[in-house]
A and B are shown apart, each in its own frame.
Chain A
Amino acid sequence: MRAAAGWVQRCGAARLSRPLRVGSVPGVLNQGAAWNSASRRRYGVLPRARDAEEKAVLDSMMRVDHAGEYGADRICAGQMAVLGRTQAGPLIQHMWEQEKLHLQKFNEILAEHRVRPTVMLPFWNVAGFVLGASTALLGKEGAMACTVAVEESISEHYNSQIRTLMEADPERYTDLLQLIKEFRDDELEHHDTGLEHDAESVPGYFLLKTVIQAGCKAAIYLSQRI
């Protein structure tokens, strides 16, 4: 009973393939083009959880992914704040737009499946902005190095999630797997873009990268749990 009432959230282009629903529900409209391409789902990205344990695992995964995209959005904001009016501006803006789409998608998923967002969001807000801005102060190369480090962490994280889901039940999580794969490919593209634009030429690249990736690992660990 509750299931029917609760899952009436609309999710972007899936609306096109679903029959018209009477009335409207408070929800987030997603007209994001990136997601249109892959949607055949009728019931939402996550399968309905069979028991509390599966729900906890899926919730934790979605929570940390949401936190990750939120952090990425703030990092890009920090980078734009410093380098927005330079030559690197359009490049960073383009990557920012893609991160915004990812964040929007995860916002929808969290709302639809009643997943609790992580408590650490205000911290990631500040920390992300400060990270983006401070590395951007090292110049365009610094910003690119930060991008490379973060995107490498995130793609590694997405890959481990894909592995977990594939090991559990690829059939059941088809849509979710497709989503994560698409996002991982986007992040890898950003990583490669960063490398192309002289990320490695920043002084102390190796140290910077290690520190940032350690921070990302800690962030992932915390966001999964709280």
Chain B
Amino acid sequence: MAALIRGLRADRLVRALGSVAIQMGRVPRGNGSSRGLHRALVLRLADDSHRDQTVPPPPHHTHFAEQSCASDASSQQEHGHCHASHQDQSGEQEEGYETEEQLEARILTAALEFVPQHGWTVEAIAAGAETLGLSAASAEMFNNGAGELVLHFVEECNAQLAKILAEQHNRVQLGQTEKKETAEFLRDAIETRLRMLIPYIDTWPQAMSLLLLPHNIPESLKHLSTLVDDIWYYAGDRSTDMNWYTRRAALTGIYNTTELVMLQDSSPDFKDTWTFLDNRIQDIVNMANTAKQMKSTGEAVVQGLMGVAVTMKNLTGLNQRR
């Protein structure tokens, strides 16, 4: 039964890796095999370094896996599969093994250290890979290169913000902190998120231009919408009508414009940026209040008109039944 489950998991992993391989496989076949070899080297390096630290998997499993690996030396998919089967067949020792996604994430996180020096480029990724003990050539594992580094960074920042907001939410639930006003909450959330850019602020224009490349736009938009959705959710928005859209659109606008202002801000600790943010948040609060007022005024006017109409009907005798 356990073997069946492991087999199924391996199957899912194969399919996932297969789809990655299909995307990568648009490169002509000759390149593909050399890439495959590259990746094999990277993965073997990772494997070896881990295998040194952990208990080796049961001998007959390893033997079987290596046999199947050896027989399929040229296809990327099979290397991915081998890696997966290593992982799955030593189910209990999973701490020593990681998926390809986890390895990529580790490389990119390490690469962030080198961004001030190299900018958002493949060199930074290569430098990051070297700190992990991998060869610099493993940077070629990333098809999208610097774009992937930026997207990874954005994703990490969003995840961190979500964690902070959830913790805050917890504290409010437990009564340890006061609940913030919506405007203040939004302001603090955006400030927290933008402060994560401060260490990379010099190279951020380059990162933004990378995010605007056509093939990166879908994913960067997805990250942006997740960010805004998270902020509004923790701010207490539970709307299920057009408000859902208008609020998120407004916050997206605020976030983007504040980000741009931040790039050109030279005041100490970005004071001007936070002032700008304050003013923009105040704008939407005012707009919301105005909209509410207009609605109630409109309703009152309609009531008045109905009253006039009924009065006129009474006066002219139209209301009488005959």
Binding site for B on A (CB under 8 A): 1-2, 4-6, 8-9, 21-23, 25-28, 66, 106-107, 110-111, 114, 116-117, 119, 121-122
Contacts and interface: CB of A to CB of B under 8 A. Distances in A.
Given A2-B166, A22-B173, A66 B233 contact: no
Contacts of B239: 111
A1 to B, nearest CB: 6
A23 B173 contact: yes
Contacts of A5: 166, 169-170, 173
B205 interface: no
B174 A117 contact: no
Interface stretch (B133-141, B240-248, B291-299): B240-248
Interface in B226-261: 229, 233, 236, 238-242, 244-245
Contacts of B166: 1-2, 5-6
B162 interface: yes
A6 B233 contact: yes
B170 A110 contact: no
18 contacts: A1-B163, A1-B166, A1-B167, A1-B170, A6-B166, A6-B169, A21-B173, A22-B175, A26-B236, A66-B240, A106-B240, A107-B240, A110-B240, A111-B240, A114-B233, A117-B240, A117-B241, A117-B244
Contacts of A2: 162-163, 166
Interface residues of B, number: 20
Interface of B: 162-163, 166-167, 169-170, 172-175, 229, 233, 236, 238-242, 244-245
The 4 residue pairs across chains A and B that have the minimum distance between CB atoms: A111-B238, A26-B236, A2-B166, A5-B169
Contacts, number: 47
Given A2-B166, A121-B242, 6 more contacts: A1-B163, A2-B163, A6-B166, A6-B233, A22-B174, A27-B238
Given A1-B166, A2-B162, A114-B233, A26 B238 contact: yes
Given A27-B238, A111-B240, A122-B242, A8 B163 contact: no
A23 B173 CA distance: 5
Contacts of A28: 238
A25 to B, nearest CB: 7
Contacts of B244: 116-117
A147 to B, nearest CB: 24
Given A5-B166, A114-B233, A121 B241 contact: yes
Nearest to A9: B238
Nearest to B174: A22
Contacts of A23: 172-175
A8, A22, A116: which has the most chain B beta carbons within 10 Å? A116
Contacts of A114: 229, 233
B173 A25 contact: yes
Nearest to B238: A111
Contacts of A107: 240
A117 B173 CA distance: 27
A85 to B, nearest CB: 14
Contacts of B175: 22-23
Nearest to B163: A1
Nearest to A8: B173
A121 B174 CA distance: 36
